[in-house]
A and B are shown apart, each in its own frame.
Chain A
């Protein structure tokens, strides 16, 4: 019989050919809605115990396609490859602009990657982005294609007055995956942990998602992230001290801090990739933009543990180590913090207009 440690050793997903991140690019829209604006309207409270400081809000002319295009252009600038060298463009989101018509074809056309590509949209609540990334690792790691583009991007929906309205935000990041020897960070292994857990869903034709209130914590977020991260570390024989940084899916400020602490990570390891306090929860973009913020500051040799979470439910954990190529490529595109610093505060009325909460007919 297999022992527990033998089992976990075989569980890590590793490609036949080593792969890595060739280029990455973030995108955060300009507008910010302070959590106090939501509290003032719906709970009458002020500065009390709010889940984030503020969230990013997409403008009137933005959607997952336009935001993905900008992140993809940034990723390609860093990668320094021709868009026509890509063999796949995959966009993970739960707010694709069309119900039927791929976001990925629009993105691929705009960046000049068509027509010799795979294109498709991925859906797995907040882990659609890392799901696309793992698929890209598979495509490149099997030798089917040299480069693939994976994007996690969302304009998250939260019902007015719901707890999610404080945090449901806009943003994400794009990654060009390619051979490890060309990469700015090598992806050593991934591990995914998935169960059928009804913590959060949105039925067809519904504008806003529903969620299982307190059920979204322990049996959902904490269980899946802990199992994914723990098993990956066991199978690789690593421990929290081996990582300079850790990034967890960030639906609010507290959850990633708590799960990090439980797994044995310190605040210093988590802080550089914890963006939810200032941009909110970018859903399928959240873990990936946390990673882009870390890559903005990481040094060659640093290892990063990234663990996403998507409701429904599952987590993808990844072990990533930064190479010396990071130094030169980092400055080829705007940093994550450049987007965060580009900030215009809006009030609830402007937010309601920008996000289509005012129906004219």
Chain B
């Protein structure tokens, strides 16, 4: 990933910062400055809670470039509590089987590394099964 692009996307990738539409109150992720619901201008940042459920998922055995070292890994469509659906890796599954409807929570993790040990480390959101004791 190019460094400037990574830097531009940092806020949304590190902490699920999207937008809220000041006209119709819809929560928007990823941020796009125009509300997909009402078409109004929406630039007000909104931090998502990170809570959601697995809408659907698949397991990757043949990974795209930059992700080869992590196979096999699970990618899911996660429906956030506030509405939007995001695509993200699931992590910290251990022996836990993934199920549709499973409650998950956002964590910030290493997504990939560029140029082996020389490039930048790309951090971003993943989701894990909700931890016991989380309130």
Tell me the number of A-to-B contacts counted with CB atoms below 8 Å.
Answer: 66
* Chain B residues within 8 Å of A338, by CB: 131-134
If A60-B69, A106-B123 touch, whether A334 touches B133 (CB-CB below 8 Å) is: yes
Interface string of A170-203 (1 = CB under 8 A from B): 0000000000000000000000000000000000
Flag if B10 contacts A70 (CB, 8 Å): no
Per-position binary interface string of chain A over residues 90-102, scored 1 when its CB falls under 8 Å from any chain B CB and 0 otherwise:
0000000110000
* Chain A binder among B36-44, B55-63, B75-83, B106-114: B106-114
CA distance A219 to B11 in the complex (A): 47
Cβ of A66 and Cβ of B132 under 8 Å apart? no
Q: Which residues of B lie under 8 Å from residue A334 when comparing CB positions?
A: 131, 133-135
Q: Which residues of A contact B110 (CB under 8 A)?
A: 60-63, 66
Q: Give CA–CA (A338, B92) in the complex, Å.
A: 14
With both beta carbons as reference points, the residue of chain B lying nearest to A333 in the complex is identified as B135
The interface on chain A, measured as residues whose beta carbon lies within 8 A of the other chain's beta carbons, has a size of 30
Which one, B107, B111, B123, contacts A70 given CB within 8 A? B107
Bound Cα distance A334, B107 (Å): 14
A112 touches B92 (CB 8 A): no
Evaluate contact between B131 and A342: CB separation under 8 angstroms: yes
A331 contact set on B, CB distance < 8 A: 135
A344, B11: Cα distance in complex, Å:
31
| B11 contact set on A, CB distance < 8 A | 109
Q: Complex: how many Å from CA A65 to CA B14? A: 11
B15-A111 in contact (CB<8A): yes
Cβ–Cβ < 8 Å partners of A97 in chain B: 121
A62 to B91, CA, bound (A): 10
Most buried by B among A61, A70, A110, A342: A61
Pairwise interchain contact A59-B91, C-beta atoms closer than 8 A: yes
Q: B94 contacts the other chain (Cβ, under 8 Å)?
A: yes
Taking A106-B123, A344-B94 as given, write out 10 further A-B residue pairs in contact, using a Cβ cutoff of 8 Å, ordered by the A residue number. Answer: A60-B69, A62-B110, A66-B108, A98-B121, A110-B108, A111-B15, A112-B47, A335-B133, A338-B131, A360-B69
Chain A interfacial positions (CB closer than 8 Å to B): 29-31, 59-63, 65-66, 69-70, 97-98, 106, 109-112, 331-335, 338-339, 341-342, 344, 360
A-B contact pairs, 21 of them (CB 8 A): A29-B92, A31-B94, A59-B92, A61-B70, A61-B91, A61-B126, A62-B109, A63-B110, A65-B123, A66-B108, A66-B109, A70-B108, A97-B121, A109-B11, A110-B15, A110-B108, A112-B15, A332-B135, A335-B133, A338-B132, A342-B132
